Structure 1
């Protein structure tokens, strides 16, 4: 059974540029580093792991193009502002802000980061409900 997001890994040809871009966007430096191979950030309410990996270590057959069917979505408090900030930092729109469902409050968007990875963001009232039950803010 899936119990929650643990780590998401993105690949980049230019590891240092990707580290710098994500550090700028996230407002934190990576807490872990393997020289020329990997950077890891801890982010969000549950300190989820975001790894940036040198594309040389990508699984055999991994595609360099965005996509592949799945998009991990991160809850954000201000979807329009976060989406715009990503675009301002050089990401490109993959999916515009799109309302989901008919009960209000759910919306998603996604960008392609400058390194070819899809970064999904969303406004998710259920996430906030769960966070409130766990004592988070």
Structure 2
């Protein structure tokens, strides 16, 4: 069901400083931006997505888990989400379309052990898979 890592998201209080720092680290500017909220780079051998999100959008709460989130690509987000819930996971964030009309859809659960497990339908993952073939 979990096809591969789709996007790793990290959070920063100073989004612009984080953008500058990661652009220096990666040697490239982000390819996708949401002003004041999000920057994303494609990095590594399979052009994995690395995102920095304004910390005010972080899913951290004193009484709930949080931190960086790795989104795992799934082909059918609704079916995968229902299966996770059926296996005893609890809803953390419901199925949510990201960037209206872009095809990116996420959801996350808290597994029975207190970890956030995030799933995502990611058109970029599908594009790379089409170029490289399944593992």
Counterpart check, 1:108 vs 2:106: yes
User: 1:9 is matched with which residue?
Assistant: none
CA deviation after TM superposition for structure 1 residue 103, in Å: 3.2
1:67 aligns with 2:66: yes
Distance 1:90 1:103, change over 3 A: same
Alignment of 1:1-137 (within 5 A): 66-68=65-67, 70-136=68-134
TM-score by length of 2: 0.51
- Which blocks of at least 5 consecutive residues in structure 1 are unaligned? 6-45, 47-63
Where 1:114 maps in the other structure, the secondary structure is coil
Mapped to 1, the partners of 2:100 and 2:94 lie a distance apart of: 18
Regions of 4+ moved over 6 Å = none
TM-aligned CA deviation for residue 105 of structure 1? 1.6
- Separation in 1, partners of 2:126, 2:134: 9
Count matched residues.
77
CA RMSD of aligned residues (A): 2.6
Q: Hey, what's the Cα distance between the residues in 2 that align with 1:114 and 1:67?
A: 15
Please name the residue that 1:35 is paired with. none
Structure 2 portions without partners, runs of 5+: 6-45, 47-62
More strand by share: 2
**Pair 1:91–1:100, CA change in 2 (3 A):** same
